Amino acid sequence: MDNELTKRLMDAVDRRFDEQASFLAELSSHPSTRGNEQSAQAFMADNLRDCGYQTDSWEIDVNDIAHLPGFSPVIGNYENAVNVVGTHHSQTHQGKSLILNGHIDVVPVGPLDMWDSPPFEPRTEDGFMYGRGVGDMKAGLAANLYALRALKDLGYQPAANVYFQSVVEEECTGNGALACLQRGYRADAALIPEPFAEKLISAQIGVIWFQVHLKGKPVHVLEAGSGFNAIEASLPLLAALKTLEQRWNSAGHTHPHYDHHDHPLNLNIGKIEGGDWASSVPAWCCFDVRMGIYPGQDIAAAKAEIEACLHDAARDDIYLGKNPPEIIYHGFLAEGYCLADHDKPDTRQAVSALEKAHLSVTGNPLQQTTVTATTDARFFGLYADTPALVYGPAADAIHGFNERVDLESVRRTTQSIALFIAHWCGLEKP
């Protein structure tokens, strides 16, 4: 692609960027937490149709995907869990096909009084947009869409099929992306603009979610010594899990892509509940756990080690030894993924195309990094033999209070994606 077309594409992104920022603000005003994604998805579908894409919207059916590799179990149902895919059909098929993937779901906001402004009323200040989901990852969805709009504004379209995916469930299972694979959407590469500061993710960890349920012996607090406190019983189990975390992060248990990380595998106790009354010894306790695993680490073996850790800790307790904890897996059973291990011609070509695009926009070589989180890239890389490039804008406080995204980074990311599409897919006239 010549320098003139490169500049024209970048200028086309610039001309629409105020519109893009307004789109991002409107998209982020939809409170698309788990089970509440429908209005945001309808908004995405409308905009894809406006861009000339054929849209496919469907409700995920667990029965369609439960047997597939990469499936993660869920608690509850998928009523109204809707995916949206917009499809561009090339006339010439001269280039390589592409999936542009992003997730519409966002995590809960927590206490509203700990935000500086309402999380679903996006605001812009000093070059940043604030709000839940603006960074993770609605800015990425906006970048994908407006990269395509920039091509259209110049009278071009991709010279290969493009599948624009707006999926649910990324924050807890990844089953939205899996449902896209089950529905038959395949391409030569996938691009996922997650907010990792304009760096290419070379490796990501896997994740296991589970709940631990404990039963106590309820009595009136006046005879507390004759009962068994299920909440207090959780404490030695939490300590045992922290010891397991330390062991998995210790020397001899590392992964080549994570040798430079002091602590790549993070354990998080994300939620705990228990008891019914301040004057009653608690009869129950439940806590939710997230544990990281290395790429290539066997999930079944990791689960067995987790279960042994908890049961060993319980065995030392007089009551828990007879009433062991119940472990329920729900949410992520996600393998790690290394783009660097996907060393095939298509992978090298896709990375090269992104490197050229990034260099043209920023003037700097594309950096690669590893992350201690997971993304939907694993579905494409592990189960569809498709190189998955994770590359998106800079954002702060994702999953936290006052989440924000750097708008100039969003602009550059959009330009890079537009140039990447031009390199990878080629261009044709409608």
Does the pLDDT at position 76 exceed 80?
A: no
Which of 334, 351, 386 is at the close of a domain? Answer: 334
Query: The pTM is what?
Result: 0.96
DSSP state of 228: B
| Listed range (96-100, 314-318, 351-355) with the worst mean pLDDT | 314-318
- For 202, the token pair is 């070379």
Same domain, 144 and 12: yes
pLDDT at 1 over 80: no
Residues 203-228, mean pLDDT to the nearest whole number:
95
The rounded percent of the chain whose pLDDT value lies above 70 is 100
Residue 169 has which token pair? 């469930």
Same domain? For 40 and 167 the reply is: yes
pLDDT for residue 284 is more than 80: yes
Could you tell me the two tokens for 59?
């409700």
Burial of residue 248 (CB within 10 Å: 0-12, 13-18, 19+) is buried
> 326 falls in which pLDDT band (50, 70, 90)?
very high
143 and 40 in a common domain: yes
If you write DSSP's letter for every residue of 346-364 in order, what string do you get?
HHHHHHHHHHHHHHHHHSS
Helix (H, G, I), strand (E, B) or coil at 48: helix
Find the helix packing angle between 3-15 and 139-153, rounded to 10°: 120
Pairing mode of beta strands 98-103, 162-167: parallel
The predicted structure's pLDDT at residue 70 = 97
Q: Which of 334, 365, 391 is the last residue of a domain?
A: 334
CATH number, domain at 268? 3.30.70.360
Q: What is the pLDDT of residue 85?
A: 98
For residue 238, what pLDDT is reported? 97
* Interval 354-393: pLDDT, tens: 999 999 999 999 999 999 999 999 999 999 999 999 999 9
268 and 348 housed in the same domain:
no
Q: What is the pLDDT of residue 342?
A: 83
pLDDT at 397 over 90: yes
Q: What is the token pair recorded at 160?
A: 């290969």
Span 254-271, average pLDDT:
93
Task: Give the mean pLDDT of 304-314.
Answer: 97
Q: Are residues 197 and 213 in the same domain?
A: no
Q: Hey, which bits of 318-394 come out as E strands?
A: 326-334, 337-338, 368-371, 388-390
Supply the CATH number for residue 383's domain.
Answer: 3.40.630.10
CA distances from 398 to 146, 248, 275, 395, 406 (A): 22, 26, 31, 7, 12
Domain of residue 242, residue span = 206-334
Partners of 395 in the beta sheet? Answer: 405
Same domain for 130 and 12? yes
Asked whether residue 113 carries a pLDDT value surpassing 90, the answer given is yes
On the question of pLDDT at 300 being above 90, the answer is yes
Say if residue 278 is in the same domain as residue 329: yes
Q: Among the three residues 334, 369, 386, which one is the final residue of a domain in this structure? A: 334
- Residues of the chain above pLDDT 90, percent: 92
Same domain, 30 and 155: yes
pLDDT, one tens digit per residue, over 156-197 is 999 999 999 999 999 999 999 999 999 999 999 999 999 999
| Among 117, 128, 152, 154, residue whose Cα is nearest residue 47 | 152
Report the domain count for the chain. 2
Which structure tokens are listed for 338?
A: 């290394």
Distance, CA of 200 to CA of 294 (rounded, Å): 19
Examine the pLDDT at 415 and tell me if it is beyond 90. Answer: yes
Shared domain for 77 and 169, answered yes or no, is: yes
Report, as an integer, the average pLDDT of 259-284. Answer: 96
Show the DSSP H helices in 249-338 as ranges.
Answer: 299-315
Q: In which band, very low, low, confident or very high, does the pLDDT at 109 lie, cut at 50, 70 and 90?
A: very high
Distance CA 288, CA 275 (A): 16
- Residue 185 pairs in a beta bridge with none
Q: What pLDDT sits at residue 253? A: 77
**Lowest model confidence (mean pLDDT) among 5-19, 245-259, 404-418:** 245-259
Whether residues 306 and 345 fall in one domain: no
Query: What are the angstrom distances between the C-alpha of 31 and each of 75, 289, 309?
Result: 21, 25, 38
d(CA 342, CA 281): 54
Among 40-49, 70-79, 128-137, 172-181, name the one with the lowest average pLDDT.
70-79
- Summarize the chain as % helix, strand, coil (round to 5): 40, 25, 40
Q: Is residue 341 over pLDDT 90?
A: no
Tokens of 122: 């996006």
Examine the domain organization and report whether 58 and 191 are in the same domain. Answer: yes
pLDDT of the residue at 315: 92
- Same domain, yes or no: 234 and 171: no
